[in-house]
Structure 1
């Protein structure tokens, strides 16, 4: 059927794309539907524009393609435990005396020192705050900032609970970075690989003396192993940058016949300052390399303040609609 009337054309497009029976399907599928029932001049271009400007499709479809934006460097800390990356390893088998099934991973951005804290995947912000208060704060002091890709409301509640545990009226800052440089994510991958190497053939691991361990009992040793290994981005061990010395390990007993040199306080400070200066230079070089790689395949945003744009609803808390049925994008005025 050849069409010339604009109203009839729009009716055909509605029936072939917008109606329940058409299902708001893709541009190609809409073209196939229209082709079976009608024709008009430049009909393919008309159908393509209709589908590409469909508001409902834009808001419901998953955003594809690479995200806009060039890499921006996070404010680098000047000392250990100023900035902490936080993430979780989940879906672990029950372990420990409380059947933990997850592990909270904290990574110091400055020294790359990790802390692994067995926990439960359904722990609320208060549970996490108490755990950090009991097991972390006495070793590190208070963080200046926490970087996490978790729900910002969770991170805010965590800060509030730590604030209450300190009994202070000072306010703490928080940062929500849905796309950071992946420090905690890489640490999680490393931790999972270390656990897997010991526990891959069962939920429990027996050592050479016959003692049985699950993944929870391995955590302190695995944490120590990482702290005393040289990090690729700093050229130093996390322990050396954090404390100025490497903790003693079992194989250090083999060195008892070697000369043990203890530096004086002044030479120790010089050594630590040199190590941290070297680490800072390595981190800057590492960021420069990562930025060059990122920026090659990304472009800056073309929108500006005052534009109406579509933003992801991934981190919006809409209790009225289940997450998998909610629209993925919604209008937002910059």
Structure 2
């Protein structure tokens, strides 16, 4: 298609395309033919099972049934006790002992089912967040903690003990070139040059999007990087206000300290 488009460029505006019916395409493939209908006349016919519907019955439940259910709940002793147990301000857990045997077994077993189905982990904050959205019972936080301490899966899970991630902070846009610089390293490069450089330090100005590429070694320290920036970058751009990098904060702080040592200033 591209060759045909290039070939007719010189005739654009001076030609009319007229469609002429030709022979049937004998070499058609699956992408250029219409899909065959799944009928007995088709050579690719696949019989399909038919599920015959013998009858459909549609009924409408009136309000009388719901009213009867509500009245039966009010008159049932076990439902009344369960309602008091599930109240948020319930201070009498001993009410569960007044339930009938079948109801009491369902009440106690239901709590274990909730703990197991909610994917409770050894993190109590996650327990509280997931558990309180679906159920409540007296001392449910204590039961959740005991469940996690006796759960084999929870004990084998890696706990997040590190510091929480902070909020996303918007970076202030610079007002002049080379105030804010993005810095990153490109490593695992084939050795080249007189010193067999195997890495590249990339500096990008956030204001003008101007890049700078500095060849370096993969094992260069913060002081080596500071000297390279001082000799090859700061002599043309001046001192940066901010350096944005995905390296370890210890490295960036050491880089700033090395730069200030070269300037003869203190942080």
Bigger relative contact order (CA 8 A; separation at least 6): 1
**Normalising by the residue count of structure 2, what TM-score does the alignment of the two structures yield?**
0.42
Looking at CA atoms only, which structure, 1 or 2, has the larger radius of gyration?
2
TM-score, normalization: structure 1? 0.34
